[in-house]
Amino acid sequence: MVSLLLTVMALVLGPMPSSAAEPDWWTPTARPAPDSQINVTGEPFKGTDAQGRVRGFVDAHDHIMSNEGFGGRLICGKPFSEQGVADALKDCPEHYPDGTGAIFDFITKGGDGKHDPNGWPTFKDWPAHDSLTHQQNYYAWVERAWRGGQRILVNDLVTNGVICSVYPFKDRSCDEMTAIRLEAKKTYDMQAYIDKMYGGPGKGWFRIVTDSAQARDVVEQGKLAVVLGVETSEPFGCKQILDVAQCGKEDIDRGLDELHELGVRSMFLCHKFDNALCGVRFDSGALGTAINVGQFLSTGTFWKTETCRGPQHDNPIGNAVAAEAEKKLPERVAVPSYASDAQCNTRGLTDLGDYAVRGMMKRKMMLEIDHMSVKAAGQAFDILESESYPGVISSHSWMDLGWTERLYKLGGFAAQYMSGSEAFSAEAKRTDALREKYKVGYGYGTDMNGVGGWPGPRGGDTPNPVKYPFRSTDGGSVIDKQTTGERTWDFNTNGAAHYGMVPDWIEDIRIVGGQDVVDDLFQGAESYLRTWGNSERHKSGVNLASGATASASTSEWWNPFVSFSPGRAVDGEKGTRWASEWNNDQWLRIDLGSANLVKRATLDWEAAYGKSYRVELSADGTNWQTAWSTTTGDGGLDTARFAGTPARYIRIQGLERGTKWGYSLSEVGVYSD
């Protein structure tokens, strides 16, 4: 009777039968005609391996709907159209008859911008690996990547209000959040469009997911889990003008809530321009100069640099000329020159940025660390480490590589930009030991439709070409050259012209870099989902020091109305602090009230910080043992981790100050986890 009841409950409460259980479930019953070919045969793999892990490749950074951003005319063509492929894959109106009006194509590619504007069916000049203004994410090309073994795709909703405003061709508002909402809607529309080919809602291979369990189920079914992300320069209207924030905490909360409701689960807090949340990692060369012009037009200030405080650094700006962009500047305003030994953005994570990072953590969202200045990234890592929060992603090689182990140690996920197979393989091998140490897979970020450039051909005469047809990584599918209309692409001579060439690029990596690199990529789906799932399950630890009794060697005195007493460091208010007198050997002692297992302490330093100090523990307040120490403190938020030790008392023993002032702590946290 019990077993019968369990069987009935499983039938009622369990998932509905999936199309994955049907023969030829991967073949649509009503594909539009004419349309692109897929040129892959064989059933897509599904299920898990012997250890219960999902398999498959991860594209952690793509822009399926960027044609809807930037005013709607920067990226030409659509990923799908109810009117069919001829309507989807056509050029922008101003590109006809010969590309003369393709201003952005001229800016990004050079030459005179001229090209054959015709897409379907001839595709003479586009899509191409070096054409940054034409659609590369047509749905059937994404389908080919899925059939070739990809199981997770992060679709970053993207736009830039300044680029939109200065670009002469547009047919819609330049408001960034309006564009983000539209791109989200269009992604759901694309899901419905594909579902219709397979017989109705939920039956297609393109599945938008909003939690890791749902994503894992989709991957186990052999389908493509699509995660929504956001990459924009002024999220929630959080721009800054003349260094004054144009948003507040209410805007951040409202914006994060709205994005979460749309299904967004990962995002960048800054991109290209400094904003009210954080400073950016610079672009270099003429592109960097052009973006710096955009920064001025948006914010009223150019980038400011300083000598880096540690080994990590931002990209050098350089002093290259970008004549067309510089014409946009007001009269007598010029882009400043920059010292070659000052490669770090002076702007880090602002107080509002700190609030936004913590807001993402509360909503179990994953933070994209790429594009943050090293100062901002370091501060973001400090916050994540203080909470042991694993939800951090580097999706397309825009993070200083010196942070890689710090990311893995937290439980984050890393992907590399889709570069040529030789360079990609070399970088993958450089970080192979770290992935082995932390038992993680690897990802790639195609950044298609992201104006970045993609792997070019190695040449038809290369001694080790991609040989068509070839087997997929799992061995269950056969992949031939991709044909759309009258055009057939060969990776050896065309490179990564569009999204459908991703399987060909992976085969090229196997040939050039070896099977080990591909194996690491094939483990990407499991690692990404592990990071996401651990973020969802994260619980903030209980601060044992909150409201505890505190004492100190000394306390600074200014006047009767301002207190820097020891209790200010454990009162839960970041606006208050304990400050010592201006001497090296000072201490702060906290009585937890009873013995507790202590594993972690967080120290939020005010401007006056400890360069050299110890974290000491005691059971009786008399006999002390050092649990953790440093001689290289740099202020900000420090997290000290050590072996779990029973203790009632914790003491921060200052040895050497980092400034001419004393030691000053805004808040100290003590945790058992």
Residue 261 confidence (pLDDT) = 97
Establish whether domains 57-279+347-537 and 549-671 are of one fold.
Answer: no
Give me 521's structure tokens: 């990529």
Distance of alpha carbon 473 from alpha carbon 470, whole angstroms: 9
Residue 576 confidence (pLDDT) = 96
Strands 40-41 and 57-62: unpaired
Residue 2 confidence (pLDDT) = 34
Residue 460 buriedness (CB in 10 A; 0-12 / 13-18 / 19+): exposed
What single letter denotes the amino acid at residue 105?
D
Cis peptide before 44 (omega within 30 of 0): no
Residue 607 buriedness (CB in 10 A; 0-12 / 13-18 / 19+): exposed
Please give the class, per CATH, of domain 57-279+347-537: alpha beta
Residue 10 confidence (pLDDT) = 33
CATH architecture of 549-671: Sandwich (2.60)
Cis peptide before 127 (omega within 30 of 0): yes
Residue 1 confidence (pLDDT) = 37
- At 412 the three-state DSSP class reads coil
In the chain, where the domains are located? 57-279+347-537, 549-671
**Which helix (DSSP H) or strand (DSSP E) does residue 507 occupy?**
helix 502-513
Residue 558 confidence (pLDDT) = 82
For the chain, the distance separating the N- and C-terminal CA atoms, rounded to the nearest angstrom, is: 44
Residue 335 confidence (pLDDT) = 95
- Give the start-end residues of each E strand in 141-295: 150-159, 206-208, 224-232, 240-241, 244-245, 264-268
Residue 20 confidence (pLDDT) = 43
Phi, psi of 575 (to 5 degrees): -80, -5
Residue stretches of the chain with pLDDT short of 50: 1-20
DSSP bridge pairs for 445 = 417
Residue 128 confidence (pLDDT) = 95
Residue 203 confidence (pLDDT) = 96
